[in-house]
Structure 1
Amino acid sequence: MRSIAGLWTWRRSPLCRRSDLAEAWLALCGLALLLLGVPLAGVAAGTAAYGELAALVRQEHAQRHAVWATAKQPVDRPPTAPGEADDDEGPQSHPVLAFWKGPDGVTHTGTVHAARPMDPGERFRVWTDAEGSLTPPPLAHGTAAAYAVATGLVAGALTGAAVEAGRRAAMARLLRRRYAAWEDEWARIGPDWGRAGSNS
């Protein structure tokens, strides 16, 4: 950004080339886009993501219900071969045979994956749909907000990277044009360089 600082002090100098002014304006526009575009892109993406996630949270909380389940007996895990991945519930899951009454009033029985070992007769919360079938817990508002913030940060970072990549590409093109102009100028005056009366 050094060229920005010198833009206003020597812009009227006879030594200031058009390419110098273009480089300074390019740096100034890149800085403005970084300062304004990155936050705006992050806020816009985060707000849009939170709107979608908040709607999903409301939908899941309306469709899923927390009910009490009563443990009947633990369920042994099937043995796994060495190196074989565990089930999708993860190593901290404890399968237990339990029964629960769904929102429809019907009693259901099945294997539930609890967060800790359950003794027979112990009660714990499970999530079901309107028909009493087990479902994962609904998305929490805090989780939705965290996802939205992460989306905004990623969008801001990508916007900043795009701006910087565009600035560098434009700067590279500007430098190529400058070097081409120097080569043309050298080809014009180079053969007479140092000779008396050159270019006269």
Structure 2
Amino acid sequence: MRKAQRTRIRGWRWRRNPLRRRSDVVEARIILATWAAAVVGGAAVGAVVAQAVDGALEHDRAGRMPVSAVMVRSAPSATRGVATGATYDRVRAEVRWTDTGGTVRTGETSVRAGTAAGTAVTVWTDGRGHLVSGPIGSAEAAARVGLTGAGAGLVDGLLVLAAGRTVRLRIERRATDAWAVEWARVGPQWGRRTS
């Protein structure tokens, strides 16, 4: 048994013909509006989210200050991961520094393995003088901004397309129900013989 081939005619909903229903025109307009809203809305949401993330990253970078610190004790030598076997050249060690208020503080930070006691190292602090990790680089910040904006735009576009598809399915269901009612009225007349 051969499978029937389906003929696809582009733009049939827009052409005038006696078989075109009102629901076909509404469905065509919904498709057009949905795609336009998905593209334009997705781009707008992506741009707004990217700008917000860029501002947050810039604020975070501005709040971190480099401070000169001194090693309290010698840092341990390089360690090897038990599971992976990789060698780690950065270890946690205790350092001492003076904050902007003149208070001497101590804390642990990541330093090169084997750094001797008394060696000067640069650490990063926040506005309250607490140790924090260094700011992210401009390349990583640009990648985060781009990926976050693109992801937000994509999600927004997909949500709009899903909403449009849901509306289209409801319209198709109503059109099918109307067709069934009409067929129930007209269908029995086809079986009669006319003379």
Following superposition, the deviation at residue 29 of structure 1 comes to 1.2
Following superposition, the deviation at residue 109 of structure 1 comes to 4.4
Structure 1 residue 155 and structure 2 residue 161: aligned? no
User: In 2, Cα distance between the equivalents of 1:99 and 1:56?
Assistant: 24
Amino acid at match of 1:56: D
- Written as runs of structure 1 = structure 2, the 5 A alignment for 1:47-62 is 47-58=51-62, 60-61=63-64
1:74 — aligned with what? 75
Q: Equivalent residue of 2:12, what SS?
A: helix
Q: 1:155 to 1:95 in 2, by over 3 A?
A: closer
Q: 1:157 to 1:178 in 2, by over 3 A?
A: same
Q: 1:155 to 1:128 in 2, by over 3 A?
A: closer
User: In 2, Cα distance between the equivalents of 1:71 and 1:31?
Assistant: 62
Contact 1:72 1:97 in 2 (8 A): yes
> Which of 116, 119, 122 is matched with 2:119 structurally?
122
Q: Equivalent residue of 2:165, what SS?
A: helix
1:5 — aligned with what? 11
Q: 1:98 to 1:17 in 2, by over 3 A?
A: closer
Contact 1:67 1:126 in 2 (8 A): yes
Amino acid at match of 1:146: A
Q: 1:132 to 1:54 in 2, by over 3 A?
A: closer
Q: 1:128 to 1:28 in 2, by over 3 A?
A: closer
Following superposition, the deviation at residue 190 of structure 1 comes to 1.9
User: In 1, Cα distance between the equivalents of 2:30 and 2:126?
Assistant: 57
Cα RMSD, aligned residues only: 3.2
Amino acid at match of 1:27: I
Structure 1 residue 169 and structure 2 residue 170: aligned? no
TM-score under structure 2 normalisation?
0.73
Unaligned runs of 5+ in 2: 1-7
Contact 1:101 1:107 in 2 (8 A): yes
User: In 2, Cα distance between the equivalents of 1:165 and 1:48?
Assistant: 26
Structure 1: 4+ residue segments shifted above 6 A: none
Q: 1:51 to 1:95 in 2, by over 3 A?
A: closer
CA deviations 1:88-133 (Å, max 9, x no partner) are: xxx7652334433444455544544324332334332212356754
Q: 1:183 to 1:129 in 2, by over 3 A?
A: closer
Contact 1:3 1:27 in 2 (8 A): no
Unaligned runs of 5+ in 1: 77-81, 84-90
Following superposition, the deviation at residue 167 of structure 1 comes to 1.2
Contact 1:74 1:96 in 2 (8 A): yes
Paired residues in the alignment total 180
CA deviations 1:42-65 (Å, max 9, x no partner) are: 11221123223323332x13xx33
User: In 1, Cα distance between the equivalents of 2:128 and 2:53?
Assistant: 30
Amino acid at match of 2:75: P
Structure 1 residue 32 and structure 2 residue 33: aligned? no
- Written as runs of structure 1 = structure 2, the 5 A alignment for 1:104-143 is 104-105=101-102, 107-129=104-126, 133-143=130-140
User: In 1, Cα distance between the equivalents of 2:168 and 2:9?
Assistant: 12
User: In 2, Cα distance between the equivalents of 1:125 and 1:112?
Assistant: 10
Q: 1:155 to 1:105 in 2, by over 3 A?
A: same
Contact 1:106 1:132 in 2 (8 A): no
